[in-house]
Structure 1
Amino acid sequence: MEELDFQLVKRPGIGDEGKRIRVRANFFEVTRMQREDFSHYDVTTIPKVPQRLNRKVFDRFVEQNRYGVLRDARPVFDGRANMFAHKPLRFESDSFDVELEEEGTPVSRTRPPQSFRIRIKKTRDIVVRDLFQFLNARGDMTNNCLMAITGMDIIISHKISAKFPTVRRSFYNPQVKKSLGGGLEAYQGYYQSARPTMSGRMMINVDLSATAFYESGPLIDIVVKLLKNIRTLNELRRGLSTNDRHKVEDFIRGLKIKDNHRTGTGRKFKVEGLTPTPASHTTFDRGDGSEIDVKTYFQNAYNIRLSYPSLPCVVVRGNVYLPMEVCDIVPEQRYMRKLNKEQTDVMMNFTRQNPSNRANKIQDGLKLLNYRENEHLQQFGMSISDEMAVVNARILPTPTIEYRQSTRQFRVEPKNGVWNLRDKTLAMGATLGSWSVLAFLDEDTLPKPVIEKFLVEFTNTCHNTGMNIITKKPPIMHANPQGNIEQSLKLAWINAGNAAKSKPQLILCILPSKGQELYAEIKRVSDTIIGVPTQCIQREYLKDPKVQYCANVCLKINVKLGGMNSSLLSKHIKFVDDEPTILIGADVSHPAPGDKESPSYAALCGSIDSKASRYAATIRVQTRRYEIIVDLGNMVKELLKVFYQSCGHKPRRIIFYRDGVSEGQFNHVLKNELNAIRSACQALGADYKPTITFIVVQKRHHTRFFPMEKQNSDFKSGNCLPGTVVEEGITHPFEFDFYLLSHPGLLGTSRPTHYHVLYDKNGFDANSLQTLSYNLCYLYVRCTRAVSLVPPVYYAHLVTNRAKLHSYKESNGEITSKVVKEDLKKVMYFA
């Protein structure tokens, strides 16, 4: 196979398509930078301590040595190992002893200060000239550049990180918080990051940020908040059930607590677990061979009569037991696990800010950061503007959507990214003849006549929208949602086939609520065992069936049966329409934080027609948290074969949109995955060499845009209009990237999608790739709105989420993942 050039693509020029406007971006220019080289040191603290304490130890070291070996330098530190100084430091010894008094310890109390040793070793001088060469497109991203940018990140965060809890590039203010319920609360904070941009400038990206922390305070108060079946402290007197004890133990294991039964600040401990017995029955050896229970010990030793002797004890340091009521949770401990749905909703409402509010809060954050009076910035010769950057942008023209030509309004020009199905017929309506309805409710709760009434409205809407509904009255069954779901679905499948005398096409499932467990089991069985599409709807929508709701369900069912909902005018998708072209979206989904068992899932979705409207999917289970798609070659082969079966020829061009890759992984992912794509093509024919474009799609970033004129904003949400593209001012100094805001904002401030072209043999210029990517966002099959990122990637997200539902835990604890049935892989079963 020919040697591939892995040099990332250079920007092919600036686009000029669309209406030119200006927008504000949450970037602040570094107006002055140190031109002299600065020095990088490696710091080791003995004993090893958490990051927050490590910063305190370091600050104490600076305080002790500032006018000595540091020669008035104010070095900065990341809390782990990296220290930067604005000039070389000369140490006679590389080892320093530091003593740190515990905060808040009363003078009357004699507790010796903690002793630490800091070792400092110089690693290199950072040649700043390399960074200026890179910023002005006269040099590559060298290690010097990377370290200079890392240094800037640490310079801007050093001072603020000493005051507030910090997570990577974000710091959080405990004074601005919101209860999430269940013993958790959200802190609002700010993200800041140094970014190299065009025109030879460094910028600081500043944005709002929020994350979850454990509530601090008495442990027993938190237990009441955690357990839904206990409403008051008084109810704790009866003790905890086994299930509740396990729930509390799981919640507090690893947490830092301090005791509150002695005078002073209390000793700090790390929770190892809970005792299986209550304090009144938990005993320990007094040291003389006799045993005493914890309740009696606290009465004798501290004259404390426990109010909750029926509660278990907190286990700390192996065999040290503390009654729950003498424990307080230490403040500012971050919650690392996944929030439940209710907590996620509260978090979303807490963080959601409309554009003008968000812009104002970012400016408030700038006051808190106070770059102007930061002595560390001054020492490194840095000045940062307090005005948001104003950058050039364009609003790309809206594409025209096509429906079936027999329709009265078969062409539609969306307004502000939105349109509707009124007077329109699906481009290619599927035929539905063999199907059944399965209600996971008893007949008293949901009588048959109510379902039949809904089916009349539903089938009429599907018919009017362009589907061919042969069977208007499918068989109806009721089933127990706690019963054998697999058996119920199989019976519904048999009933559908028997009634229509043909192979079943669909099971319409009516769910009692939004419960995830029932939905997950339905999808596991239908996708991997029976091999028939299912459409789930909730019972609440049956009472008064709305045409709009029925039409949205129809959109999903049509593509699940192989139909096509809409397409774009050929001129709006010219690149795909001109020559056989496959669009592939790729995503790798990793387990939630705290999940130490589940694997990662890789998914590809590939277009299978010249309209880029219909897609096929393929999934693989792979090693947890591994980012490279391991079996990419075979997955691409599968999609190329389906494309060939559908179109009658191989694609001559491949556009590969890859989600979830961070900048530090660009070269690694490109080299591995581009080789795999080329190998897949060669396996289908030695002379088969389609031209490939490889684009990384990023949504996890902190770039936001704020419109400057009312006529260029969405009057409902205040966001920039769909089609707003930014490729100047805040983008890469010379590589081919752009930000595209393609969807109409609903709530909060819209997040643009960042597209970064790593490899391109299709000769795209800025206009053609930006316009194609934007126009594709109008082809998402599940709604009549433009979406925030190109559909193939959106579908790959859906597929990885669905793949998680196909997995289940065996009795031995191992996780097994089932494979999707072959028939379903060629249709959009995941829609």
Structure 2
Amino acid sequence: MVQEITTLTLRPSEGKAGRPIKVRANFFEVTSLPNQNIHHYDVRIDPILKNDKVNRKIWEALEVLEADNIFKGIKIIYDGRANAFAPKALPLGPTSLKTFEVNLGDSRNPEKSTFRVAIKHVNEINLEELARFLRGEGASTNNVLTSVMVLDVLIRHMPASLVDYTAFGRSFFIPQDKRPLPNGVETWQGYYQSARPTPGKMMLNVDVSASVFYQPGPLPDLIVKILGKRSLDELRGGLRDRDIKIIERTIKGLRLKVTHRGEQRRDYGIQRLTITPADKTMFTTEDGQEYTVAGFFQKQYNKRLAFPFLPCVVVRKDVFLPMEVCNILPGQRFRQKLNEAQTAEMIKFTCTKPHIRANKIKQGIQLLQYQANPYLQAFSVKVKPEMAIIKARVLPPPTISYHPASQEPVFAPQGGVWSLRGKKACTAASLTSWSIVNFTHQMPITVIQRFVRELCQTFSDIGMNVINRTPDIISADPQGNIERTLKEAWLKAGNQAKAQPQLIFCVMPHRGTPLYAEVKRVSDTVIGVPSQCLQSKHVSEAKKQLCANVALKVNMKLGGQNVKLAPNQIPFIAQRPTIVFGADVSHPAPGDFSRPSIAALVASMDVNAVRYASSIRIQANRTEVIADLGNMVKDMLKVFYHTCGQKPERILFYRDGISEGQFSESMNNEVNAIKAACLALDPTYNPTLTFIIVQKRHHARFFPIDQRDTEKSGNCLPGTVVDTDVVHPFEFDFYLQSHSGLQGTSRPTHYHVLKDENNFTPDALAELSYRMCYTYGRCTRAISMVTAPYYAHLLAARARFHRRNENWSDGATTESMDSEGQIASFSAVKPDLQKVMYYM
């Protein structure tokens, strides 16, 4: 095998470490690929539509129209956009281009139902190139990518064409299997399918998926649910401006049908709402008469509005519809961020035990009927109907270390979980100068004092030195000036202890975002001291377990270290000065194209790789590549040098949040930026770099076969690693399930090595990555991915709160600001905090 087949790192060999086992994977082998060339056609529909469903209707109408002339029984697959593929050439004539006129037969709007469709032959695809790629003998060329795309379009063609199913991307959803969620939406179950190249063969990855849709039906019913009311009667007093904004933001763009025009039930898209109700919204008819919308409907349709107090829907310029004549059409996807209640219900619906998920996938395979699919038959494609049984290995757990004064300071946790009882933090901080802010009116001071006594005892139990056990408690208004309150708390802490303030505790009345966000903005960017927020109900209960969790967080925020791996467990990091980076980019909620994205970087600052410094950059909306990575890396390398007294000789970089399509962009930009940053510090400084992409957003799932390889939740054991059968044909990647599943089916993390100058063996990298999952500072269990990128994810989430004058209460966007104004509205974290893990 020669390196020319990829610019990324080749898999050095197959891993051997751990106990070999067999697992089922939700991959289905493609046992036969097309033996003929595939013909690729470019499809252009005029006028251009962005609606795949309508495009497919136009295509189906064309197939009927030209059944005897062009198509002649040839089974053609179409992706709903611009590509069609045929197992035989179509007779398009000498220019290989033909234009057709298609009418969808809408008598109400004939000018909008006639389309011109141009079909042009663009390529003939020979699948031998794909076969060479799968064998590791050829590169992933455009021809190979198109061959994989043919299979993707082929398996999606029938589900996407069926009236009962609603297709989005690689998934299709079934309205019969749904559950209502709060605030007018519902979740539908569906199936995801994707063609995946693996060593020596193509596989189909099939999984259960779920998506959220608007509940169809009368628009007023939806409004009641959006606002969380019991009935429309609660709105008879009229809607507040804030309510109208919330409704408008939620329903903008939705398609609806009107009910007041008999057979002429036209479809419309919602543009906005009027700020006045139907009985006060005025408009002028073509003959110059002025009416309210309610008055016009009374005169024109003899319809007296039942809900004249609701605003009107604007569907076109000067076209106002009362809400009660509008019905939301089914099958419209909800693309906004789910609220807390919706998320909780969604998790209940999607959280299924491994054996139930495996059975649902089998049902999906029966539904998809690969064996009886006439399109697959026309392309000579056959698929095994059983899940692939593949090789896996279970890595042994690492030995983790607490302070020598602990009971059993060094031990190997079993099942990915252990107890903090009798354990002391490796490095425990001292707590001298702190204060408490009580934002809960009904919380008596005595209850807080009791909690503080319990908390101080827990701090001592884990080895922390608590010098001041009676911090000042300030009562404050959660609606008041939070910045002034926290500055007062900071002064009280300093004055009481005659020392630099270290920590501010806040007792919160609820889990709401606005107060929490403002506390974090002020503590992180104005005062520069760590804060610890606690809900009042937890303070009043003062449970030992909660106090232990808080103690772990506080110790890290003050610069302590809770748990570590012995040097012999992490030889790569311990033998020579090594820095471990974790990076992530967080984007605003779906549909928000105004707020910026946030790039977060953390870097280890000690020989155990458990204490991290951090750096944040605010960048343009939905920019995936980290724009200023070079300067961020330089900052971290300087801090490492000042902390450890030496330059790192090796860099281990874990990058979260990059999809396969962005690998080359990440290589060209981010890997080069890291190398350039080192040279910029010193022209002779060139540490060896290993750059790994960490992916959680994929659909690979593994199901244990033998009871010995199963934990009590029914999932694979922590430490299950897969680096054969369902991985890349020849690049260096592997799946690692490092955590113990609490509920549902565990998702393994996919690690893909883009660059490796440290010459890792598959065993060395998988074991190191797995062991680092045991060093997450704020709980006593192995987590699902390496800690460094997980910390970067927490850091990026925290940075969202550093925006000045953000209105968290109704999620209002700030679209009036330009991109530079948006970025400038974020405050920087105080330099001293960047050296400790304040975001824990």
Class of the TM-score when normalised by the shorter of the 2 chains: over 0.9
Structure 1 position 589 matched with structure 2 position 586: yes
1:299-314 equivalences in 2 (<5 Å): 299-314=298-313
Shift in CA distance, 601/245, structure 1 to aligned 2, threshold 3 Å:
closer
What's the counterpart of residue 65 of structure 1?
66
Structure 1 position 328 matched with structure 2 position 327: yes
What's the counterpart of residue 46 of structure 1?
46
Q: Deviations over 1:269-317 (max 9, x none)?
A: 1112223333333343333222233333323332322222232222222
Structure 1 position 780 matched with structure 2 position 769: no
What's the counterpart of residue 258 of structure 2?
259
Q: Deviations over 1:667-698 (max 9, x none)?
A: 11112111111111112222211111011100
1:817 is matched with which residue: 823, 826, 840? 826
1:440-589 equivalences in 2 (<5 Å): 440-442=439-441, 445-589=442-586
What's the counterpart of residue 763 of structure 1?
759
Alpha carbons 1:47, 1:116 under 8 Å: kept = yes
In structure 2, what is the Cα distance between the partners aligned to 1:709 and 1:5?
38
What's the counterpart of residue 654 of structure 1?
651
In structure 1, what is the Cα distance between the partners aligned to 2:481 and 2:267?
49
In structure 2, what is the Cα distance between the partners aligned to 1:540 and 1:236?
33
1:620 is matched with which residue: 612, 617, 622? 617
Superposition deviation, residue 568 in structure 1: 1.1
In structure 1, what is the Cα distance between the partners aligned to 2:593 and 2:650?
40
Superposition deviation, residue 238 in structure 1: 4.5
Letter in 2 for 1:807: R
Superposition deviation, residue 263 in structure 1: 2.4
In structure 1, what is the Cα distance between the partners aligned to 2:685 and 2:198?
39
Letter in 2 for 1:470: I
Superposition deviation, residue 111 in structure 1: 7.7
Q: Deviations over 1:536-562 (max 9, x none)?
A: 111111223222211111111111111
In structure 2, what is the Cα distance between the partners aligned to 1:277 and 1:495?
51
In structure 1, what is the Cα distance between the partners aligned to 2:404 and 2:139?
52
1:796-815 equivalences in 2 (<5 Å): 796-809=792-805, 813=817, 814-815=821-822
In structure 1, what is the Cα distance between the partners aligned to 2:625 and 2:799?
18
What's the counterpart of residue 17 of structure 2?
17
What's the counterpart of residue 670 of structure 2?
673
1:329-368 equivalences in 2 (<5 Å): 329-368=328-367
1:132-171 equivalences in 2 (<5 Å): 132-163=131-162, 164-171=165-172
Tell me the percent identity. 50
Superposition deviation, residue 439 in structure 1: 1.3
Alpha carbons 2:5, 2:139 under 8 Å: kept = no
Shift in CA distance, 286/110, structure 1 to aligned 2, threshold 3 Å:
closer
Superposition deviation, residue 768 in structure 1: 0.2
Q: What SS class does the counterpart of residue 261 from structure 1 fall into?
A: coil
Alpha carbons 2:174, 2:189 under 8 Å: kept = yes
Letter in 2 for 1:796: A
What's the counterpart of residue 226 of structure 1?
226
Superposition deviation, residue 237 in structure 1: 4.6
Alpha carbons 2:6, 2:140 under 8 Å: kept = no
What's the counterpart of residue 742 of structure 1?
738
What's the counterpart of residue 838 of structure 2?
829
Shift in CA distance, 6/510, structure 1 to aligned 2, threshold 3 Å:
farther
Superposition deviation, residue 235 in structure 1: 4.0
In structure 2, what is the Cα distance between the partners aligned to 1:72 and 1:809?
63
Superposition deviation, residue 53 in structure 1: 0.6
In structure 2, what is the Cα distance between the partners aligned to 1:611 and 1:605?
15
1:243-254 equivalences in 2 (<5 Å): 243-254=242-253
Superposition deviation, residue 113 in structure 1: 9.2
Structure 1 position 644 matched with structure 2 position 641: yes
What's the counterpart of residue 699 of structure 2?
702
Superposition deviation, residue 728 in structure 1: 0.9
In structure 1, what is the Cα distance between the partners aligned to 2:152 and 2:19?
36
Alpha carbons 2:6, 2:139 under 8 Å: kept = no
Moved more, 816-825 or 534-543: 534-543
Superposition deviation, residue 587 in structure 1: 0.7
Return 5+ residue gaps in structure 2 as ranges: 807-813
Superposition deviation, residue 124 in structure 1: 1.0
Moved more, 483-492 or 319-328: 319-328
Return 5+ residue gaps in structure 1 as ranges: none
Shift in CA distance, 537/66, structure 1 to aligned 2, threshold 3 Å:
same
Moved more, 293-302 or 370-379: 293-302
Superposition deviation, residue 424 in structure 1: 1.2
Alpha carbons 2:530, 2:838 under 8 Å: kept = yes
In structure 2, what is the Cα distance between the partners aligned to 1:501 and 1:409?
38
Q: What TM-score do you get using the length of structure 2 for normalisation?
A: 0.95
1:94 is matched with which residue: 75, 94, 98? 98
Shift in CA distance, 237/405, structure 1 to aligned 2, threshold 3 Å:
closer
Shift in CA distance, 569/380, structure 1 to aligned 2, threshold 3 Å:
same
Superposition deviation, residue 79 in structure 1: 0.7
What's the counterpart of residue 810 of structure 2?
none
Q: What SS class does the counterpart of residue 728 from structure 2 fall into?
A: coil
Alpha carbons 1:237, 1:307 under 8 Å: kept = no
Q: Deviations over 1:315-352 (max 9, x none)?
A: 22211222211110111111111111111111111111
In structure 1, what is the Cα distance between the partners aligned to 2:62 and 2:206?
30
1:752 is matched with which residue: 748, 755, 759? 748
Alpha carbons 1:100, 1:113 under 8 Å: kept = no
Moved more, 66-75 or 592-601: 66-75
1:73-92 equivalences in 2 (<5 Å): 73-92=74-93
In structure 1, what is the Cα distance between the partners aligned to 2:331 and 2:541?
48
In structure 1, what is the Cα distance between the partners aligned to 2:103 and 2:202?
38
Superposition deviation, residue 6 in structure 1: 8.0
In structure 2, what is the Cα distance between the partners aligned to 1:124 and 1:149?
15
Superposition deviation, residue 634 in structure 1: 1.0
1:385-400 equivalences in 2 (<5 Å): 385-400=384-399
Alpha carbons 2:5, 2:137 under 8 Å: kept = no
Q: What SS class does the counterpart of residue 459 from structure 2 fall into?
A: helix
Alpha carbons 1:272, 1:318 under 8 Å: kept = no
In structure 2, what is the Cα distance between the partners aligned to 1:495 and 1:294?
61
What's the counterpart of residue 177 of structure 1?
178
Superposition deviation, residue 112 in structure 1: 9.2
Shift in CA distance, 152/6, structure 1 to aligned 2, threshold 3 Å:
closer
Letter in 2 for 1:741: Q
What's the counterpart of residue 7 of structure 1?
7
Alpha carbons 2:5, 2:138 under 8 Å: kept = no
In structure 1, what is the Cα distance between the partners aligned to 2:251 and 2:529?
44
Alpha carbons 2:352, 2:745 under 8 Å: kept = yes
In structure 2, what is the Cα distance between the partners aligned to 1:281 and 1:826?
59
Q: What SS class does the counterpart of residue 14 from structure 2 fall into?
A: coil
Letter in 1 for 2:395: L
In structure 2, what is the Cα distance between the partners aligned to 1:77 and 1:30?
20
Superposition deviation, residue 809 in structure 1: 4.2
What's the counterpart of residue 115 of structure 1?
114
Letter in 1 for 2:826: S
Alpha carbons 2:29, 2:388 under 8 Å: kept = yes
In structure 2, what is the Cα distance between the partners aligned to 1:484 and 1:468?
33
Moved more, 809-818 or 692-701: 809-818
Q: What TM-score do you get using the length of structure 1 for normalisation?
A: 0.96
Alpha carbons 1:6, 1:670 under 8 Å: kept = no
Shift in CA distance, 425/110, structure 1 to aligned 2, threshold 3 Å:
closer
